[in-house]
Chain A
Amino acid sequence: MRGPHDVGGLSAGPVDTAPHNATFWEKEIDALNQLLAQKGYRKTDENRRAIENLGHDVYNTLTYYERWAGALGRVLIDKGVLTQDEIDAKVASVRARLGADAA
């Protein structure tokens, strides 16, 4: 009944007012999103809908920009700009290159 994003009025703890500067990765996702909107590959409303459709568990587990990355992937696949296979293959190669240990 209530999407994971529709949080107005729900109970929550104190606001963490400390500054947390955006990391370079986050700035890149932000810039990428802007560029793709400018070039007509995605609309703000499509992006928001994709974020809302991540579901409560995923929405509340991911950070703000991680949600953007997830939503962007969904939108680009739905529009046929990228395929799931391409993404999976590139994720594997990036992961191997970074030597990161991700789920």
Chain B
Amino acid sequence: MGREFSPGTRVRVREDFPFGHIRTPVYVRGKEGVVMRRFGSFPNPETLAIGRDGLPKKALYEVRFRQADLWPDYQGALCDTLDADIYEHWLEQV
């Protein structure tokens, strides 16, 4: 049961810290961003990493964050952003 987010949807990255191989970096967990595009669906790296087949596939989204939202002490420009590619099971609609 995949989660689908259309471009422009505001999402929040789950603030979870499970064991195992995770491709959602700690620095975006618990943060809010906007879905820019859907890259398609791919086998789940978390289960591929332990020798399974990675199915069912997970949708992958490009999520854009404002740097000022990621780092309380961000020193760059207010307009600066960061894009990370996050799997749907790590995202919740805000």
Interface residues of A (CB under 8 A from B): 1-3, 6, 8-9, 43, 45-46, 48-49, 52, 79
Q: Are A9 and B21 in contact (CB under 8 A)?
A: no
Complex interface: stretch among B2-10, B46-54, B55-63, B85-93: B46-54
B40 at the interface (CB under 8 A from A): no
Within 8 Å by CB of A6, from B25, B45, B54, lies B25
The total of Cβ contacts below 8 Å across the A-B interface reads: 34
A1/B48 in contact, CB under 8 A: no
Whether B27 contacts A49 by the Cβ 8 Å rule is no
A46 in contact with B49 (CB, 8 Å): yes
- What is B's interface to A at a CB cutoff of 8 Å? 17, 20-22, 25-27, 45, 48-51, 54, 70-71
User: Are A45 and B21 touching (Cβ within 8 A)?
Assistant: yes
Alpha-carbon separation in the docked complex, A9 to B29 (Å): 12
A80 to B88, CA, bound (A): 34
Q: Give 30 pairs: A residue, B residue, CB < 8 Å, sorted on A.
A: A1-B17, A1-B26, A2-B26, A8-B25, A8-B26, A8-B27, A9-B26, A9-B27, A9-B70, A9-B71, A43-B48, A43-B49, A45-B21, A45-B45, A45-B48, A45-B49, A45-B54, A46-B48, A46-B49, A46-B50, A46-B51, A48-B21, A48-B45, A48-B49, A49-B20, A49-B21, A49-B49, A49-B50, A52-B21, A79-B51
- Bound Cα distance A62, B51 (Å): 25
Residues of B within 8 Å of A45, CB to CB, are 21, 45, 48-49, 54
Give the complex CA separation of A35 and B38 in angstroms. 31
- Distance in Å: Cβ of A27 to nearest Cβ of chain B: 26
Taking A49-B21, A49-B50 as given, write out 11 further A-B residue pairs in contact, using a Cβ cutoff of 8 Å, ordered by the A residue number.
A6-B25, A8-B25, A9-B70, A43-B48, A43-B49, A45-B49, A45-B54, A48-B45, A49-B20, A49-B49, A79-B51
